Structure 1
Amino acid sequence: MTTPEGSSDRLVPIPGDVIRQPFPGADDLERSVALLRQVASGEGPQRLLRLYTPAPTLALTRRESLMPGYDIAVAAAERLGFTPAIRPTGGRAAAYDETCLVFDLVEREESHADPTALFAQAGRTIVDALRGLGVDARLGEVAGEYCPGEYSINARDAV
């Protein structure tokens, strides 16, 4: 597990509300956006963690929706039982279903500080929780992963 200098492998869980959604919902992405707006507006908690298993979804970006071949990708996803959706964040298309665990960590921005510390703390907190469930969870980049990163959460150091 990768940890910044001076940190420990076990942290106190991130304080804030936790939402556990055990069953997939057709509005998973919309719910994520609504929670983001609620936290940002100050109407909700300062920090929120949402864990859920998603319905079969192909999450695309707005940029991808304007690219050639978008309609072909949407048709292929639907044929395979995935509901296409436009997510408000960047990145690339991602397909996921009930075999995945998705987490949304939403925190009200109190400063314009570098989010690296939040990524590290959140990653370690989630890894610690997964280890508590018996998962050989680790934090760090895995060779061959879809979206490599220092704060990727994985099991057994494998994709």
Structure 2
Amino acid sequence: MTDLSHRFTHDSVGRALDLVGERWSLLILREAFFGVRRYGEFARNLSIPRPTLSARLKTLVDAGVLDRVDPVPEYVLTRAGRDLFGAVVTLMQWGDEHLAGPAGPPIRLRHKDCGEIAGTYVACGHCGGAIATGNVTPEPGPGFR
């Protein structure tokens, strides 16, 4: 087996967490996924301190996750931002399963195509099979050092 110990300092998970792994950044993204666009709406919905909101929005814009659209400033998800939806929904589903109170999850996502409550899983883009810890093998990628 190839030594992959370098992954702890140069991996994509670490780089992604540096950008969106902070609580407020994920909550801003959640709000954006559900249609929030304006600064005041983010501030109201999240009860986030305004200096923190400004800093997080700037970071997400600078990283290309959100676009700031003028003249009335709105924050719109970019393709990179929309690509985070699956990760946030999977994290939400994990919280629903393992952290929800006795009343159950506070929000459910209904799938418009089939009308059922959506459940997510990570699947192989080639064969459609589920991806789990026991059926994948890490190997060096093109960015391996």
Whether TM exceeds 0.5 here: the answer is no
- Give the number of the structure whose residues are more often helix, by fraction: 2
Identify, as 1 or 2, the structure richer in strand. Answer: 1
- State the structure with bigger RCO (CA 8 A, min sep 6), 1 or 2: 1
TM-score under structure 2 normalisation? 0.25
